[in-house]
Structure formats: structure tokens, C-alpha cells
Amino acid sequence: MSKRRRILGQHFLNSWRFAARIAEIAETRDEVVIEIGAGKGILTKQLARKARRVIAVEIDARLADLLESMQLPNVEVINRDFLQVELKDLGNPLVVGNIPYNITSAIIRKLIQDKCYVKRATLTVQREYGAKMMAPMGSPAYGYLSICVNHYFDVSKKLVIPARYFSPRPSVSSVVVVLNPKKGGKGGIDKSYETRLFEFIAGVFRYRRKFLRNAIMNCLGHLPDGIPEDMLRKRPQHLSLGDYQSIYAVISGT
């Protein structure tokens, strides 16, 4: 494996059966599909069987050449970093991919940023990361990621893939999750306000073992008046997005 692949934490799927299952879960028939990190093409081939068009994004030039050599008629290979791809120019595609472990969060941030240009995302991620995405309030895995992702997407787990079906073999299994962008429901929240709100939530979760009172003081350097006492006595993982919106409304004066 190349040095860049090691840095990204990329593990190639080596089972055509699981590749076929992922393509089935993604519901690609007659759709435009953008594949993140197409690699050696095992998933690409399965996606191409039913999709109208597959845009296989691969950052490694040697692997991009390998994909080109397959000469799949409805597959376009793009030798580029997915994080630099303009999704708005691709016609509301499905996004599918076996996500490199070390850049999963960056990819999720991009999908959030471009969610209005994505029809649906079907992603294979590290099992622990998937658990954090779907964690309920109050659970050990619940955190900033859980709140943020579920604000923008309906998330569901579809499949567990054991570690032995990847090369090189990772230390943990993976899960296939589907992210459906939520339509509306934002109540006209200003994007700059929303950004500040989530920055505040991320800051509070750096002190998840502390009560909210101390977490806010560590984040802001003071404790604003007006935050309900019952919330201040809770730890960050025991508060919902609605709770954080109420708290931040007090802090920001909105």
C-alpha cells in the first residue's frame, strides 16, 4: 500500500459479494452515482451494472489508470481528491464509497456543506464511527458528531462487514450506513448562526466529563445569566440539539 494510502487509512474491500450488497443498498438503478475512492474498482463494477452513470473519484493516479483500463462504458474516472470535487455540478448524484478512516470526518463535513446537491449517501465507515453517528442521547458514544449528522440527515445502519473482507485487514469491522438529507425543518436558521451554534456544541463536548456549568465556563471564560439550572447540572451528552439551541439563544441573545 502506498504511503498516501497509509496516511488516509484506506482499506480496500476485497469481496465482490459485499460490493454487490452495497450497490443494492445504494439503489443505483438509472441514477448518477459518484463513488468516493474507487480504488481497484471492485465496487465500481457493481455500481456500473445498474447506474446510468458512475463518476469514479480516485486520488491515486496509478489506481485511476487501472480504473480507466477496465473500459466500463458508463464509468467516468476522475483522478482527484473527492474533497475538491464540486458536487453541485453533478446533477444531484447518489454518493457511495468505502471511506478512508482518517478522512471520514472531512468527508462528512463536505456532505453536510453540499447536502442540497446530494440525493443520498451510502458510506462504508469504521464501526465505531458509525456507532457515534447513530448514538442516542445519553449513551457513551453520543457527542458532537451524533448531534450534527442527525440534524442534517436521517441515518440508518444497513450492513456490518467483518475486517477480513478488507485489504490490508483493519483492526475493526466496518458498517454500511445510509444518509438521507433532511428536507426543510431548519426553521429558517441563518447559516452563520448555525455555524456558531455547532462550534459552541463542539466546544462544550471537549469537556464531556464535566457538568455543563463548568464546560461553558471553560469554553467562554464566564457563565452567562439565564441558562436554566437543571441544564447546567447535566453533562453535555445528556442534552439534545433542542437543549443546545435554547442554551445558545441565551448566550447569543437571540
Over residues 158-196, the pLDDT tens digits come to 999 999 999 999 999 999 999 999 986 444 456 788 889
At 253 the pLDDT is 81
Nearest CA to 149 out of 98, 103, 115, 102 is that of: 115
Residue 205's pLDDT band, with cuts at 50, 70 and 90, is very high
At 195 the pLDDT is 87
Averaged pLDDT, 95-109: 93
Annotated binding residue 43: no
> What CA–CA distance (Å, rounded) separates 64 from 73?
15
156 three-state secondary structure:
strand
- Report how far apart, in Å, the C-alpha atoms of 139 and of each of 87, 99, 146, 238 are: 34, 25, 10, 8
pLDDT tens readout for residues 35-83:
999 999 999 999 999 999 999 999 999 999 999 999 999 999 999 999 9
| 14: enclosing H helix or E strand | none
Nearest CA to 27 out of 119, 155, 165 is that of: 119
pLDDT tens readout for residues 208-251:
999 999 999 999 999 999 999 999 999 999 999 999 999 999 99
At 186 the pLDDT is 46
At 9 the pLDDT is 56
Burial 157-181 (b: 16+ CB within 10 A, else e): eebebeeebbeeebeebbbbbbbbb
> What CA–CA distance (Å, rounded) separates 116 from 246?
26
> What CA–CA distance (Å, rounded) separates 91 from 31?
10
Number of Cα atoms under 13 Å in the Cβ half of residue 90: 27
> What CA–CA distance (Å, rounded) separates 142 from 217?
22
Annotated binding residue 151: no
Per the structure block, which three cell numbers stand in for 36? 468516493
User: What does the angle CA 93 – CA 107 – CA 130 come to, to the nearest 5 degrees?
Assistant: 100
At 188 the pLDDT is 44
Annotated binding residue 60: no
At 181 the pLDDT is 95
Annotated binding residue 98: yes
At 14 the pLDDT is 96
Annotated binding residue 94: no
CB atoms within 10 A of CB 117: 17
Average pLDDT, the chain: 92
Residue 84's pLDDT band, with cuts at 50, 70 and 90, is very high
At 212 the pLDDT is 97
> What CA–CA distance (Å, rounded) separates 180 from 111?
11
2 three-state secondary structure:
coil
Annotated binding residue 180: no
